[in-house]
């Protein structure tokens, strides 16, 4: 990414994250994407549960996720995952991730999330403008 | 176990269940204990959520878990997990598990669970007699 | 998918697959994609480890994965996951997945995998023709 | 524990660690026990893989694990896990863990591990004296 990330977490890759081929089992990268997003909400914006109460939402959940796996991660590697900048649409937000060990890219991917709220008995994706204002107000304001 | 189990699930051990040593990563055995218990509740007693509503409980959750690991499980093995018989105390139930591949025992363990309910603003372990009657009424009656 | 799937697994969705919003935690869908692929290899083609020995490969690993999440899965749902048909390229194969509860689609996604083998000291994606012949010989021949 | 722990990790409890009851899904505590042990080996003793090569072992694997769950962990909690001191037997080591959020204990448990090595074609638990000397030489010497 040429743009500055919004947030970053480190993950110490451990024995139990690896599969029988001795490399990180790929669904763990998606667990780390999700963890990075929730840690960003926690450290910058009061956390997912408090934001959901504020937005009248049930959750800021997944519509799409993808990842390109560039090189393997091994037990003992220190993995750094960058989040952002977020791309906002009316009823979804797309969060890019890039994960590295030192300068070597392991994974690049995206999560597209909606702000799911009950409206007339159904869960639907609510407008993102209020969340965008909260996040951009703090992080870009 | 010399006594007859109450319930049984099969798990097809897969690549992603195994760690860098090529054998089942041990926390998966606890995930399978939990899954076995919840599948037992689902197939025999209407499921955990419905039972909790009936009992006025938040969850039938863990107080203790342990396991002895007798031999390893590998990618491709078909694992069979037996549950029960349940040992009932006033405010807890202990659920034994034995997991095998054919005749070879991989794991023997226990979960001790409580019926957690809110009473005067705190979560406490409620009496087990109502759940016991439901389970023994169906399974031993 | 309008085309006939190659393979199918069932997953009994359990309490522990769900997150604090009470729906399947999304990385589990990728674990089930991977499990479906490995179970397909096991039941139809002798399993991943035996195939890798035959192909001189270290693993049939991930280059890309993505998923669209259409509707949520809940504790107690019986989830059916279809695999295939596989789309073959020279040095990768793309495996489509569609997951349903009855007629309701929960997830549609893809895994792109390579046959990773050591050549001159580096892991590279080997040609897919031998694996393709094995799989198409059995499944389409 | 009244004795000084050998090692400690922090875990930022996240949304995806929690189950449909909104609290940490209990097998995660065992994943964190295992992660704590492997991080201890990595940071103090060169890591599990290097130690295994030095000891001629396949893995320092599990014979037994148990845990008492004292109080729940929630999304957003910062969890601190203490390891040790290790209790050494001839062919096993028992590693105690205590996990807290501030002063509140969430979990207390043990892992009993063996140094599994191939001897005459079978995996058996090797004597622990060499590993004990390595660990006690560095940490208590």
- Measured at the CA of B92, the angle between CA B89 and CA B95, to 5 degrees, comes to 90
CB nearest to A16's CB, from D15, D35, D47: D35
**What is the Cα–Cα distance from B85 to B132, expressed in whole angstroms?**
12
Quote the minimal CA–CA distance from B73 to chain C in Å: 14
Tens-binned pLDDT, residue by residue, of chain A (141 aa): 456 899 999 999 999 999 999 999 999 999 999 999 999 999 999 999 999 999 999 999 999 999 999 999 999 999 999 999 999 999 999 999 999 999 999 999 999 999 999 888 888 999 999 999 999 986 554
Crossing angle of helices B27-45/B48-55, nearest 10°?
70
User: CB pairs under 8 A, 24+ apart, for B24-28?
Assistant: B24/B72, B24/B73, B24/B74, B24/B106, B25/A16, B25/D34, B26/B67, B26/B69, B26/D30, B26/D34, B26/D61, B26/D62, B26/D65, B27/A16, B27/D27, B27/D28, B27/D30, B27/D31, B27/D34, B28/D27
Nearest to A75 among D31, D48, D75 (CB): D48
User: Token pair 């010497």 is at which residue?
Assistant: D141
The distance of A39 to chain D (nearest Cα, Å) reads 7
For tokens 């205590």, what's the residue?
Answer: D98
Separation of CA A79 from chain center:
15
At residue D91, does pLDDT exceed 60? yes
pLDDT tens per residue, chain C (141 residues)?
456 899 999 999 999 999 999 999 999 999 999 999 999 999 999 999 999 999 999 999 999 999 999 999 999 999 999 999 999 999 999 999 999 999 999 999 999 999 999 888 888 999 999 999 999 986 554
**How far is D21 from D18, CA to CA, in rounded Å?**
8
pLDDT at A119: 85
**CA angle (C8, B78, D31) in 5-degree steps:** 95
Shortest Cα–Cα distance, D86 to chain C (Å): 31
Q: Helix axis angle, B129-139 relative to B27-45, nearest 10°?
A: 70
| Cβ within 8 Å of A, D 39-78 | 39, 42, 47-49, 75-76
Q: Report CB contact under 8 Å: A15, B15.
A: no
| Chain B, nearest residue to A75 by Cα | B20
CB C107 within 8 A of CB C67: yes
Query: Which chain D residues are closer than 8 Å to C19 by Cβ?
Result: 15-16, 18-20
Give me the residue label for tokens 């729940």. Answer: D72
> Where does the pLDDT of residue D27 fall: very low under 50, low under 70, confident under 90, or very high at 90 and above?
very high
Give the start-to-end residue ranges of the domains of chain D.
7-139
B72-128 pLDDT per residue, tens:
999 999 999 999 899 999 999 999 999 999 999 999 999 999 999 988 888 899 999
| Closest among C78, C39, D20 to B12, alpha carbons compared | C39
Q: Tell me how close the Cα of B84 comes to any Cα of chain A, in angstroms.
A: 29
Cβ contact D72:D24 at 8 Å: yes
A65 pairs with which residues across the strands? A111, C67
pLDDT at A138: 63
The predicted pLDDT at position C119 comes to 85
What is the mean pLDDT of the segment spanning B63-80?
A: 97
**D99 to chain C nearest CA, in Å?**
21
Q: Spell out which residues of chain A touch residue B20, defining contact as CB-CB under 8 Å.
A: 15, 18-20, 22, 75
Return the CATH number of D7-139, one of 3.40.50.1860, 3.10.129.10, 3.40.190.10, 3.40.50.970.
3.10.129.10
What was the ipTM of the complex prediction?
Answer: 0.94
Length of chain C as a residue count: 141
Q: In the structure, what pLDDT confidence band is assigned to residue B141 with cuts at 50, 70 and 90? A: very low
Number of A:C CB contacts under 8 A? 61
Interface contact flag, B15 C31, Cβ < 8 Å: no
Residue B92 contacts residue B63 (beta carbons within 8 Å): yes
pLDDT at res. C123: 85
Mean pLDDT of chain D: 94
Q: CA geometry: angle at C100 spanning C97 and C103, to 5°? A: 130
Nearest CB to C65 within list A23, A26, A58: A26
Q: Which of D19, D127, A56, A45 is nearest to C21 (CA)?
A: D19
Give the B window 78-137 contacts with A, CB below 8 Å.
Answer: none
Residues D134 and D141: their CA atoms lie apart, in Å, by 10
């Amino acid at each position: 990414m040429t743009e500055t990330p919004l947030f970053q977490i480190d993950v110490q890759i451990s024995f139990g994250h690896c599969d029988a081929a001795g490399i990180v089992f790929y669904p763990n990268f998606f667990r780390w994407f999700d963890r990075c997003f929730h840690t960003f909400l926690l450290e910058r914006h009061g956390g997912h549960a408090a934001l959901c109460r504020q937005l009248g939402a049930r959750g800021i959940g997944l519509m799409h996720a993808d990842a390109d796996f560039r090189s393997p991660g091994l037990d003992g590697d220190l993995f750094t995952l960058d989040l952002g900048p977020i791309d906002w649409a009316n009823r979804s937000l797309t969060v890019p991730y890039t994960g590295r060990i030192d300068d070597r890219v392991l994974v690049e991917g995206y999560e597209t999330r909606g702000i799911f709220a009950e409206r007339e008995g159904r869960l639907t994706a609510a407008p993102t403008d209020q969340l965008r204002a909260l996040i951009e107000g703090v992080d870009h304001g």
